[in-house]
Chains A and B, each alone.
Chain A
């Protein structure tokens, strides 16, 4: 069965510091991978997605993620954190099953310190 693991339920970084949010997946077939951001009481906004094209994926708001098959990872990074990046981040995996069901990780709450 497919699963997604996000290491670290809470991550704190200083403003201007590197952001690294970890995501590992388990899959016997190449997955589609997604990173979403959620602000309080709001829905999910897509940051970026991997769909078997380039392994380094650039998204919105300066975020990027690298698909590493050997490590079954899809970590999210941003070179310099802004206060507005404080939010909940979810990694998700999907596979072709006709309905493209998503499996979400448990989420990582990012706190940005002034």
Chain B
């Protein structure tokens, strides 16, 4: 139980385009999901807390207009990287809260 999936697992896009990443809790409902960013050989940095039915809470320094988060249902949160640039290339990991956090397998974004 407590499985979290992410789609896609990897994506390559051109600079200036937008990319949407989905995070789903497969066997439980999650009112709260989290989005993290991980640069190579570094730790996970929390980007935002996604709350079902309300606006996401962004960490300091994270641009909310660039990283759009939507948590429209209890099993799905999406992160859209708008007008992506090469510096947005990273490994994005989501987690869903069910007493503790359960992590997705991550999405590798490469912006050319």
Contact = CB atoms under 8 A, between A and B. Distances in A.
Interface of A: 32, 34, 36, 41-46, 49, 90, 94, 99-107, 109
B43 to A, nearest CB: 5
B75 interface: no
Contacts of B101: 94, 100, 102
B106 A90 contact: no
Interface of B: 4, 6, 32, 34, 41-46, 49, 51, 57, 91, 93, 95, 97, 100-101, 103-106, 108
B97 A43 contact: no
Contacts of B100: 32, 34, 46, 49, 94, 100
5 contacts: A43-B6, A43-B105, A44-B93, A101-B46, A106-B42
Nearest to B97: A100
Interface of A is mostly: strand
B67 to A, nearest CB: 17
Contacts of A94: 100-101
A41 B44 contact: no
Given A99-B97, A100-B97, A43 B103 contact: yes
Contact of B44 (A45, A46, A49, A90): A90
Given A101-B34, A102-B46, A106-B43, A43 B104 contact: yes
Given A44-B103, A49-B100, A101 B49 contact: yes
B97 A90 contact: no
Given A49-B100, A99-B97, A101-B49, A42 B105 contact: yes
Nearest to A102: B101
Contacts of A44: 44, 93, 103
Given A49-B100, A100-B101, A106-B42, A43 B49 contact: no
